[in-house]
Amino acid sequence: MPKDFDFSVNGRSVSVSLDSEETPLLDVLRNELGLVGTRFGCGLEQCGCCMVLIDGAPEKCCTKPVWSIAGKTITTVEGLGSAEHPHPLQTAFLDEQAGQCGYCLAGILISAKALLDRNQAPTRAEIAQALDGNICRCGSHNRIMRAVEKAAAAMRAGADR
Amino acid sequence: MNAPLPGPLEANPDLDRWVDFPAPGKVIVLTGRVELGQGVLTAMAQIAADELDVGMERITIRSGDTEKAPNEGYTAGSQSIQFGGVAMRQACADVRALFLEQAAKVLRCPTSELSIADGKFLRNGCSTGQDYWTLAGAVDLRVKATGAGVRKRATDLRIVGSNSARLDLPAKIFGDAVFIHDMRINGMMHARVVRQPNRGATIGSIDEKAIRRAARGPIEFVCNGNFLAIIGSNETSVEAAGAAAVNHVAWENVETPTPAQQEASWLLQRPVVERVFGAPEAANPQGRQRYEATFTRGYLAHASISPSCGLALYRDGKLTVWTHCQGVYPLRAALAKELKLEPDSIFVHHVQGSGCYGHNGADDAAADAAIIAMQQPGKPIRVRWRREEEFIYEPKTPAMVVKVRALLDEAGKPVDWTQEIWSPTHNLRPGAGGNLLGALALPDPPPEPPPNDVAESNGGGATRNGEPLYDIPAKRILHHLVTEAPVRTSALRGLGAMPNIFAMETCIDELAARAGQDPVRYRLSITADARARAVIENAAAMAKWQAGATAGTGTGRGIAFARYKNRAAYCAVVVELSVEEEIRLHHVWCATDGGLIINPDGVINQLEGGIIQSASWVLKEQVRFDNGVASFDWETYPVLKFSEVPEIDIELLNTRDDVPLGIGEVTAGPTAAAIGNAVSHALGVRIRDLPLTRERIMATLLKE
């Protein structure tokens, strides 16, 4: 018997009907809700490609069973911003051309968002530490960290205005 | 008489394979090169826009498609811009020339009075009402390239040389469906393969019940010989079944690599094909000082951030395949041969995947999908490898042993150089030297390919950069192509260049020390090549290099140099680091001469990436064997983390040269060697085996 699970994704209430309550949130996002911006990397909670915010906290969702997120608020990279209304992080990543293959970026943007939510002026070391749960294999690390610094500065300037 | 056409254009001379003007204001540019995350398509669009004189925003780029795009083989070997880009330039120059001729005919004027601005044709600078699109009907591009179009001079290029933003990046930053993993086709079935452990392994028994239980949803088994797959409409169920099947399918005739085979030294006593290049070996003349040292590097994984993925649909005798592999035409040829189909009935389309850095599982995942699709006509099949599957079954870059022997003159300069190399092949690409993995499990598996490696005319495999660029009167390579390897080996970024340059540039440092000279000055004293000297001098200047810095303080600096393949870009790298129990990289300075640069920021991005990837190889990476491949996830195969990357400064030299030189792989060797030289400077002792792990450092220090 399928069961219904209700939660919120990117500010929208959703209800999904699933046979297995163990279905990982990542599969629900990608295959049920069509939100493919959150990527599959390992299925082992090791690489960070599947990072989302759950009630504001960054979490890898590739093994997170759907039952555990019922009633919670999820933010994915699609909820950060869009080409028309980019988040300052997305603007900064474009400005810095921070990425190569880009497969890791959605997860990294989410980790960075979580960092900036709790620390408006992170040091380079704090940024590195916040991103250590995300793997980038192409070697765009320095650009990515520069972009996070730039976004933080832009957000501080925006808040001052 | 025109100059000979660039290779890829000679091979694909039809101009309509390169350029099309489909609708007013629009240009389609086609390339055989594919986007692997390096910005190649953006660079191609820049080249075309400049040569055609149209704005970048008018250009749509199509790539890697056997139905339309030119066949340029593989996107590999740092050759996309050096060869493919030059072909694109010439194709566009020829197209431009044809249109100028037509415009001159229509306007009844000599072509010398005409120019083009954003696609509009001007006569003596004034509007003519003609543009590419008004003229397109009268210009037939179904003609052969002649090379008659004059390519612009490098100094006249405007879009080339600018930092155009990457065309592919926004979709990745906004989380769009841009990767092959995100493709969804109506009626699509998900699939996982139960991998045959090795060629010749046979299925003993299948515990179907246990696998179905793990699936928690409907699945089906698809079997052909020893090729076994699980398919279903629900990916979660198929993934769970695929993972469970590893423990619930028993195989016979299994061979597993052993811990002893993990080390490069195991290669020394294996069967080999002997290959010799260069000057005949000289007897050691009396009195000559002799230097000899041996270096090793273990097996490495590509470790792409995403496991490979492939889609296929077999319908009405036609096979359509979507893949993130490096060469759609070579894959088509391999599929035709190994699945016994006519090449004309196969259509292969490139869709982006994660960075591959060489021959990973991409081709094999596509073949898996094709094999299943042929058993399930009409159903689109999507195969996505599991993480462990990618680590275990992707081709590894081979372990290598490199022994250097040098004879020195009175001043301590090398006069005779032998680089002796033991390595399995770097080329088991399907169709080139190897097979598609899934095909080995089919009832009539393709035969074992004969021993081969990448041809020296193509830069070589294990022999790549095996010859120093320095001014040494006699140089030779002795290549022992090991024909027996514990795992499948194939191309990874730079192939043999990294171990060869690591060995050679370590030796150069040791020879400098022997001669009592500073490593920078010593290198300059043995090379007259002006471009080589320039990158060495620039890297040293960037790092404020000081001769005679004290060794053994725990902090060290090292320099290394190479010209990739001895015919692509020149690069020198200085590394500063400290060593306690582990190595901590502080700063890397890099000077690179890649000739004509299409997109400086894109090039810097590639060089930075190469430096970080090489640092990761050198400090951390080795594939372990223990009753099979024991490096199967990110904990058993760790790579460099954000908190471990050094600061990097890069300078580009000679960027307005007429000729571009491939830069994608150039940093790997110099970075590895500069790290090794800096570690030696920091510790006062040499470590000649990679990776430079904590265990190895401790063992070396205890021995001293």
- Answer yes or no: are the C-beta atoms of B687 and B580 closer than 8 Å: no
Integer Cα distance of B26 and B60 in angstroms: 8
Give the residue ranges of chain B where pLDDT is below 70.
1, 284-285
Integer Cα distance of B181 and B352 in angstroms: 9
Integer Cα distance of A131 and B474 in angstroms: 50
Report the 10 Å Cβ neighbour count for B149: 22
Residue A53 and residue A103 in one domain: no
Integer Cα distance of B442 and B388 in angstroms: 22
Whether B186 and chain A come into contact, CB under 8 Å, resolves to no
Cα torsion at B370, B168, B152, B130 (round to 10°)?
90
Integer Cα distance of B668 and B657 in angstroms: 23
Residue A119 and residue A63 in one domain: no
Integer Cα distance of A128 and B636 in angstroms: 22
Between positions 254 and 283 of B, the ones with CB within 8 A of A are none
Could you identify the residue written with the tokens 């030059």?
Answer: B86
Q: Residue B608 and residue A140: Cβ atoms within 8 Å?
A: yes
Model pLDDT, residue A161: 58
Q: Residue A82: enclosing H or E segment and its boundaries? A: none
Whether B408 and chain A come into contact, CB under 8 Å, resolves to no
Q: Residue B217 and residue A136: Cβ atoms within 8 Å?
A: no
DSSP three-state, residue B446 = coil
Q: Structure tokens of B354?
A: 């994660």
Whether A122 and chain B come into contact, CB under 8 Å, resolves to no
Model pLDDT, residue B704: 75
Mutate to test the interface with B, among A137, A142, A146, A149 (most CBs of B within 10 A): A137
Report the 10 Å Cβ neighbour count for B620: 19
List chain A residues with CB under 8 Å of B234.
19, 31
| Percent residues over pLDDT 90 in chain A | 97
Q: Taking Cα atoms as reference points, which of B229, B236, B210, B232 lies closest to residue B219?
A: B232
The two beta strands, B227-232 and B381-384, are unpaired
Report chain B's C-alpha Rg in angstroms: 27
Whether B37 and chain A come into contact, CB under 8 Å, resolves to yes
- CB–CB contacts below 8 A, A to B: 179
Whether A116 and chain B come into contact, CB under 8 Å, resolves to no
- Answer yes or no: are the C-beta atoms of A59 and A111 closer than 8 Å: no
What is the phi/psi pair of residue A107, to 5°? -65, -40
Integer Cα distance of B704 and B685 in angstroms: 8
Maximum alpha-carbon separation in chain A: 54
Residue A86 and residue A75 in one domain: no
**Which residues make Cβ contacts (< 8 Å) with residue B382, sequence separation at least 6?**
B183, B185, B188, B189, B190, B191, B309, B310, B311, B369
Report the 10 Å Cβ neighbour count for B571: 32
Between positions 30 and 59 of A, the ones with CB within 8 A of B are 30-31, 35-44, 46-47, 49
Burial of B554 (0-12, 13-18, 19+ CB in 10 A): exposed
The number of distinct structural domains making up chain A is 2
The answer to whether the complex's ipTM is over 0.90 is yes
Q: Structure tokens of B642?
A: 């954000």
Q: Residue B316: enclosing H or E segment and its boundaries? A: none
Residue A160 has pLDDT above 70, yes or no: no
CA distances from B589 to B558, B608, B650 (A): 11, 10, 6
- Answer yes or no: are the C-beta atoms of B655 and B601 closer than 8 Å: no
Q: Which of A79, A106, A129 is the last residue of a domain?
A: A79
Integer Cα distance of A40 and B563 in angstroms: 38
Residue A58 and residue A47 in one domain: yes
Residue A90 and residue A75 in one domain: no
Between positions 14 and 33 of A, the ones with CB within 8 A of B are 19-20, 22-24, 27, 30-31
**Alpha-carbon torsion (B274, B279, B284, B289), positive or negative:** negative
- CATH number of domain containing A154: 1.10.150.120
Mutate to test the interface with A, among B36, B163, B173 (most CBs of A within 10 A): B173
List chain B residues with CB under 8 Å of A138.
37, 305, 355, 609, 613
* Residues paired with residue B579 on neighbouring β-strands, in sequence order: B583
DSSP three-state, residue B587 = strand
Integer Cα distance of B205 and B208 in angstroms: 9
Residue A53 and residue A101 in one domain: no
Report the 10 Å Cβ neighbour count for B695: 10
Residue A133 and residue A145 in one domain: yes
Q: Taking Cα atoms as reference points, which of A128, A132, A138 lies closest to residue A97?
A: A138
The two beta strands, A57-60 and B19-20, are unpaired
Q: Which of A60, A79, A98 is the last residue of a domain?
A: A79
- List domains and CATH numbers for chain B: 7-164 (3.30.365.10), 180-254+303-393 (3.30.365.10), 400-446+459-703 (3.30.365.10)
Maximum alpha-carbon separation in chain B: 85
Could you identify the residue written with the tokens 């004509």?
Answer: B596
Q: Residue A15: enclosing H or E segment and its boundaries? A: strand A12-18
| Percent residues over pLDDT 70 in chain A | 99
Q: Residue B177 and residue A142: Cβ atoms within 8 Å?
A: no
Integer Cα distance of B638 and B284 in angstroms: 45
- Our CA-based measurement puts residue B157 at a distance from the nearest CA of chain A, in whole angstroms, of 23
- Answer yes or no: are the C-beta atoms of A137 and B304 closer than 8 Å: yes
Residue A72 and residue A106 in one domain: no
Domain range spanning residue A117?
81-160
Could you identify the residue written with the tokens 């066949």?
Answer: B71
Integer Cα distance of B399 and B703 in angstroms: 25
- Our CA-based measurement puts residue B177 at a distance from the nearest CA of chain A, in whole angstroms, of 6
Integer Cα distance of B698 and B270 in angstroms: 30
Residue A71 and residue A91 in one domain: no
Model pLDDT, residue B284: 67
Show the beta-strand stretches assigned E in B258-379: 272-278, 289-297, 309-315, 318-323, 346-350
Residue A29 and residue A73 in one domain: yes
**Which residues make Cβ contacts (< 8 Å) with residue B128, sequence separation at least 6?**
B103, B107, B114, B120, B121, B122
Residue A69 and residue A104 in one domain: no
DSSP three-state, residue A101 = coil
Report chain A's C-alpha Rg in angstroms: 16
Nearest to A102 among B172, B608, B641 (CB): B172
Q: What is the DSSP letter of B256?
A: -
Q: Structure tokens of B73?
A: 């083989």
Integer Cα distance of B399 and B489 in angstroms: 9
- Our CA-based measurement puts residue A84 at a distance from the nearest CA of chain B, in whole angstroms, of 10
- CATH number of domain containing A65: 3.10.20.30
Between positions 83 and 112 of A, the ones with CB within 8 A of B are 83, 86, 90, 93-94, 97, 99-106, 109
Q: Which of A52, A79, A106 is the last residue of a domain?
A: A79
Q: Taking Cα atoms as reference points, which of B520, B519, B507, B281 lies closest to residue B414?
A: B507
**Which residues make Cβ contacts (< 8 Å) with residue B395, sequence separation at least 6?**
B302, B359, B360, B428, B434, B487, B488, B489, B490, B491
Residue A64 and residue A92 in one domain: no
Q: Taking Cα atoms as reference points, which of B349, B299, B627, B615 lies closest to residue B487?
A: B299
CA distances from B72 to B8, B79, B326 (A): 6, 10, 10
- Answer yes or no: are the C-beta atoms of B354 and A137 closer than 8 Å: yes
Q: What is the DSSP letter of A31?
A: I
Whether B358 and chain A come into contact, CB under 8 Å, resolves to no
Residue A46 has pLDDT above 60, yes or no: yes
Angle made by CA atoms B488, B493, B494, in degrees to the nearest 5: 105
Nearest to A131 among B182, B609, B642 (CB): B642
pLDDT digits (tens, 9 = 90+) for B420-466: 999 999 999 998 779 999 999 999 999 988 999 999 999 999 999 99
Nearest to A39 among B181, B217, B239 (CB): B181
